[in-house]
Structure 1
């Protein structure tokens, strides 16, 4: 089993090269406006987590929001930007990598932490789904008290 190590501002990404990439570079078109288009889903993603800027998301700190704040923030940004649903967010997880479990060419300097989806948990009124980009797993947290990062998307649904 080969392991590829690539340095990241936030973490040391570990990838198993024996596993086929779930989000290969050719799946993404990097745009000049700070977005990336997923050519498989036709979704347009912001390359940076909210609060980060720069060509490689190297400036600023990723902001944290409660779920309600994240929904409101997306509305304020406008221009069709929104929180992704849980299936959309999970679609950008890179299954062969950890810390972070994402394609760093498309989404540079991504934190190995939770990112909110727009999907509430059906069985309870207090929780909403997120993806932990440390390991790529979907989890749910209290949408009123817990704070996670935000990556906005447009198109689809």
Structure 2
């Protein structure tokens, strides 16, 4: 079985059990990303940085992922920097770099949900 399965507007990750939006949105500031994810309803959420890391493939670059249709954009996570809550973590899918930036910076958003949330 392939790891990723695209079904309409979602991609199922059979390795982690997460369901991802097939397309990203943005760019937008972190606070707007949180609002966007909440407005989706049905269990959709901004992923934790530990979840975004699961779709990095460090053996690839431009983009550093096998995820269907992903580009080389930076994607916000819901994870705040523990030392400075005005910053949040992101993943740069250009090279798989993981870091944090000010929440006022604009990054892309790809929401996820647990597989038991969606009735595909």
Would you say same fold, with TM above 0.5? Answer: yes
1:41 counterpart SS class: coil
The Cα shift of 1:29 comes to 2.0
Answering whether residue 35 of structure 2 is matched by residue 27 of structure 1, we say no
- 8 Å Cα contact 2:6-2:68 kept in structure 1: no
Separation in 2, partners of 1:127, 1:36? 28
RMSD of Structure 2 on Structure 1 (CA) = 1.4
The Cα shift of 1:154 comes to 0.5
CA deviations over 1:14-57 (Å, ceiling 9, x no partner): xxxxxxxxxxx8111221x221111111100111112xxxxxxx
Answering whether residue 37 of structure 2 is matched by residue 74 of structure 1, we say yes
Structure with the largest fraction of strand: 2
Runs of 4+ aligned structure 1 residues displaced above 2 Å come to none
Greater Cα radius of gyration, structure 1 or 2 = 1
Q: Name the count of aligned residue pairs.
A: 115
Structure 1: tracts of 5 or more residues without a match: 1-24, 51-62
TM-score of the superposed pair, with normalisation by structure 1: 0.69
TM-score of the superposed pair, with normalisation by structure 2: 0.89
Give 1:150's aligned residue.
109
